[in-house]
Amino acid sequence: MPNPKRRHSQQRSAKRRTHYKAVAATLSVDSATGETHVRHRAHVSEGKLYYKGQVVAEKSPIKK
């Protein structure tokens, strides 16, 4: 079975394997807050964590 005589560089291997292109993230406007955010990601607005237009968590004050 034939083998390469010399080792291929990492850059050469990476060039061969790359098929991904830089794509801008898809943005969406939240129905509850009206803020623009990355789709399918939770986002913070006014101290509250929103996901799919619903409050998931609220920031509680720090107790000492």
Distances (CA, A) of 57 to 27, 36, 60: 22, 19, 9
Q: What is the reported pLDDT for 64? A: 66
User: 7-63, pLDDT tens digit by residue?
Assistant: 888 888 888 777 777 888 999 998 888 999 999 999 998 889 999 889 999 887 776
Q: Is the dihedral of CA 29, 34, 36, 41 positive or negative?
A: negative
The answer to whether the CB of 25 falls within 8 A of the CB of 33 is no
Identify the domain containing residue 49 by its residue range: 11-58
Q: Is residue 50 one of the residues assigned to a domain? A: yes
Task: Give the predicted TM-score (pTM) of the model.
Answer: 0.56
Give me 57's structure tokens. 């968590």
Q: Is residue 64 one of the residues assigned to a domain? A: no
Q: What is the reported pLDDT for 27? A: 94
- Looking at the structure of the chain, the number of domains it has is 1
